[in-house]
Amino acid sequence: MTKDTEIDLEEVKLNEVDLEKQLMADGQPAAGEKNGSVKLKVPEDEVTFTGLSKEELMKVAGTPGWVRTRWVLLVLFWLGWVGMLAGAIVIIVQAPRCKPIPEMSWWNEGPLYQISDLEAFSGGMEGLEERLDQLNQLKVKGLVLGPFHTVQADKPMTLDLTKIDPTHGKEETFLSVLGKAHKKGISVVLDLTPNYLGSDPWFTGSNDDIMETLQAGAEYWLNLGVDGIKVSGLSIASNFTDWPKLRAAVQGNRTDDAKKRMLMGVVQGDSAVQVSELVNATGVDLILPDLLSSKNDAVERIRDVDVLHAQQRNVGWGLGASKLEQLSKLATSSDLVRLYQLLLFTLPGTPMFTYGDEIGLPAGDGAESPKMIWDLDKEPSKDAVDEAAEGNRTEKVATRSWFKSLSDLRGKERSLLHGDYYPLNSTASSLSFLRVWDQSERYITVVNWGTKPSKLKLALPPTDGAKLPETAKVKLSTDKDLKEDASVSLDAVTLGPEKAVLLQFPFSG
């Protein structure tokens, strides 16, 4: 071997060593590989599917096999579509049909709230405007204001139904209240009982001239935007010759797109049968009797409801409301206040309350109106706490919360809003009834205003429209032994003294 050849071999060896060092410096070798070895991956030939060309596709599509396949798929598609359509039709036909919603007016949709003494309620007409937000939170659908027109007791010559007594406020302020109430969805009814300061709601002797004055006064306020007129002594007023004219003035010009204006009458001492007859004879939109206030026997009360439940869209229920008295005058404990709140909200008709009933405001002494309490949410300072006063405040807050819950529930549940009514068992001091509407949740009201516990077996005669399950769930309760959401056997519902419970069960098909 020549010298030049040996030099070339040495250079090759040196180059190999340098390459091996470079590989070791660049990084660690892969597992299983020797230092200095390099593996090269030769990419395989990639095969890309480009599909059939247009000419090839047309040749295949025209073959008999593909033609048959397309027809089979087309037939299967239409058979499936027709099958689904037929199934949907069968489901619709077999499904129970929804019962049509009865015609509802605004006074059927929530509680009405009476304020006869604006000074005691809010310090005057101006204060009422500031309190509309609180009333809206109670889901009040209508305010019944007054009477506060100009008149002297038992002196018909002083009657002016188009003017507000200056001691109650100004017309401009009233119209401001009216406008703000309407923006909040609250209707306003004006009490135009002529002789409201006298011993009788109507003046002695002939009242034909008074009816003419009443008609003119009603037209005046209705033209200013008032939503309804209320009069007391309906049994007397409906016998006057010009009663139909008053009715026409209030209820006339009703159209489908116009808000209805309400004519409301109050009766005292009339039986349930007489009240029912008055609804038909007088044509009033809403009648407020004193049946719950004048009777304390549960059997008699439930019979009165039985007579009037078919006219529920024309009947208002209140405890003391017919005399503009607070509920607490007859419901003498906080438990009884809540009991009657539940009863009024679940009876078939419009619940009627006098201001302060939502907190159990104590009734006034004699002719003095009780002053409304507004600072209930203000907690006392920790430095000076009157335990009795604080307990009283807490109780009123809880009563108002209970009222709100009932008002909200009634506005949402169709069974309570306009559902059918079925009387259940009653004793001398306790009663129960069922409210049902189509496929909606069902509700059972049970109240016991007696001084002893009451045990009722809730049973329903066989009917086409309703049936009772074995158990129901507690929705609302004032009895600590009946917890909310607890299951109760309807064969034995035990309720403590002055307690109330609202039970719920679903539609079962």
14-18, 230-234, 449-453, 490-494: segment of lowest average pLDDT: 14-18
pLDDT higher than 80, residue 59: no
Contacts made by residues 391-394, CB under 8 angstroms, sequence distance 24+: none
CATH number for the domain that contains residue 254: 3.20.20.80
Pairwise pLDDT comparison (259 vs 305), residue with the higher score: 305
Domain contains 19: no
Length reported for the chain: 509
pLDDT higher than 50, residue 228: yes
CB–CB of 234/266 below 8 Å? yes
Token pair, residue 143, equals 């305010």
**Residues in Cβ contact with 285 at an 8 Å cutoff, skipping those fewer than 6 apart:** 105, 107, 228, 251, 260, 262, 263, 264, 314
Burial 168-195 (b: 16+ CB within 10 A, else e): bbeeebbeebbeebeeeebbbbbbbbbb
20-34, 52-66, 225-239: segment of lowest average pLDDT: 20-34
Question: Is 289 found in the same domain as 157?
Answer: yes
Token pair, residue 102, equals 């009865």
Question: Is 457 found in the same domain as 372?
Answer: no
pLDDT higher than 50, residue 146: yes
Q: Phi and psi at residue 492, in whole multiples of 5°?
A: -155, 90
CB–CB of 415/441 below 8 Å? yes
**Counted domains in the chain:** 2
58-67, 103-112, 456-465: segment of lowest average pLDDT: 58-67
Question: Is 454 found in the same domain as 352?
Answer: no
pLDDT for 254 equals 77
Domain contains 455: yes
Question: Is 439 found in the same domain as 341?
Answer: no
Percentage of residues in the chain having pLDDT higher than 70: 87
DSSP lists the bridge partners of residue 354 as: 114
Question: Is 226 found in the same domain as 134?
Answer: yes
pLDDT for 369 equals 93
43-57, 110-124, 233-247: segment of lowest average pLDDT: 43-57
Classify strands 155-164 and 142-145 as parallel, antiparallel or unpaired: unpaired
pLDDT higher than 70, residue 36: no
| Mean pLDDT across 91-102 | 74
Pairwise pLDDT comparison (118 vs 465), residue with the higher score: 118
Question: Is 268 found in the same domain as 244?
Answer: yes
Nearest to 451 by CA among 432, 481, 429: 429
CB–CB of 160/109 below 8 Å? no
Question: Is 450 found in the same domain as 369?
Answer: no
Using the 3D structure, point to which of 412, 442, 458 is the last residue of a domain.
412
| Mean pLDDT across 317-330 | 96
Whole-angstrom Cα distance, residue 509 to residue 506? 9
Domain contains 16: no
pLDDT for 465 equals 65
Q: For residue range 203-214, what is the model confidence (pLDDT) as tens digits?
A: 887 677 899 999
Reported as a pLDDT band with limits 50, 70 and 90, residue 40 is: low
CB–CB of 190/162 below 8 Å? no
Q: pTM value?
A: 0.82
**Residues in Cβ contact with 239 at an 8 Å cutoff, skipping those fewer than 6 apart:** none
Using the 3D structure, point to which of 412, 441, 467 is the last residue of a domain.
412
pLDDT for 367 equals 74
Q: For residue range 169-182, what is the model confidence (pLDDT) as tens digits?
A: 999 999 999 999 99
Domain that holds residue 428: 423-505
Class of residue 411 by CB neighbours under 10 A (exposed 0-12, middle 13-18, buried 19+): middle
pLDDT for 64 equals 80
Query: Which residue's entry shows tokens 């109106």?
Result: 369
pLDDT for 266 equals 98
pLDDT for 225 equals 96
The CA radius of gyration of the chain, in Å to the nearest whole number, is 40
pLDDT higher than 50, residue 31: no
Token pair, residue 100, equals 């049509």
CATH number for the domain that contains residue 468: 2.60.40.1180
pLDDT higher than 50, residue 127: yes
Question: Is 237 found in the same domain as 274?
Answer: yes
Question: Is 442 found in the same domain as 380?
Answer: no
Whole-angstrom Cα distance, residue 505 to residue 487? 10
pLDDT higher than 70, residue 16: no
pLDDT for 194 equals 96
pLDDT higher than 80, residue 46: no
Using the 3D structure, point to which of 412, 443, 462 is the last residue of a domain.
412
Pairwise pLDDT comparison (463 vs 241), residue with the higher score: 241
Domain contains 8: no
**Residues in Cβ contact with 467 at an 8 Å cutoff, skipping those fewer than 6 apart:** 460, 508
Strand intervals (E) in 430-506: 430-436, 442-448, 454-456, 471-477, 487-489, 493-495, 499-505
Question: Is 454 found in the same domain as 408?
Answer: no
Whole-angstrom Cα distance, residue 91 to residue 241? 58
Q: For residue range 189-207, what is the model confidence (pLDDT) as tens digits?
A: 999 999 999 988 998 876 7
Reported as a pLDDT band with limits 50, 70 and 90, residue 318 is: very high
Report the chain's mean pLDDT, rounded to a whole number.
Answer: 88
Domain contains 5: no
pLDDT for 389 equals 85
Q: For residue range 353-388, what is the model confidence (pLDDT) as tens digits?
A: 999 999 999 997 777 899 999 989 887 766 666 788
Q: For residue range 325-337, what is the model confidence (pLDDT) as tens digits?
A: 999 999 999 999 9
Class of residue 14 by CB neighbours under 10 A (exposed 0-12, middle 13-18, buried 19+): exposed
Question: Is 395 found in the same domain as 458?
Answer: no
89-103, 107-121, 457-471: segment of lowest average pLDDT: 89-103
Question: Is 184 found in the same domain as 113?
Answer: yes
Name the DSSP class of 198.
S
Domain contains 250: yes
HEC string of 399-433?
A: HHHHHHHHHHHHHHCHHHHHCEEEECCCCCCEEEE
Angle formed at CA 322 by CA 316 and CA 326, multiple of 5 degrees: 105
